[in-house]
Amino acid sequence: HNHDILNYCTASNKHIRTYDNVTYSYKMHDCWTLVSGHCAEDPEYAVFVKRDNHRQMALMVFIGGHKVEILPSSSSRYDIAVDGGEAFDISKDDTYYYPSQTVVANGDHA
């Protein structure tokens, strides 16, 4: 993948690839597991993953004082909840903009 950033990590149900390009075998659990975070007294972000009831990966991110949960609803759709609000459905190809709460289909512009 070309991510246009210097370092990135990836997580799947079977592997974790770290920022320094080391890959580990990993069996994802059904409880939230920290996979990336800002290690400071006042952290700027934290990313958690878990396996949901359908063996897909769910994601919870704390960033900018907000909590964002991304839960798979099918193989190509997700339920998104921000700060504990009501979840809404989005396609894997859509883009969600916050705080405007605008959903833009792939290829369209906000």
Q: What is the pLDDT of residues 33-75, one digit of tens each?
A: 888 888 888 889 999 999 888 778 899 999 989 999 999 998 8
Tokens 């320094």 sit on residue: 20
Distance between CA atoms of 38 and 4, rounded to whole angstroms? 21
Q: Residue 83: what pLDDT? A: 95
pLDDT over 80 (residue 108)? no
What local confidence, expressed as pLDDT, does residue 86 receive? 92
Task: State the average pLDDT for the chain.
Answer: 86
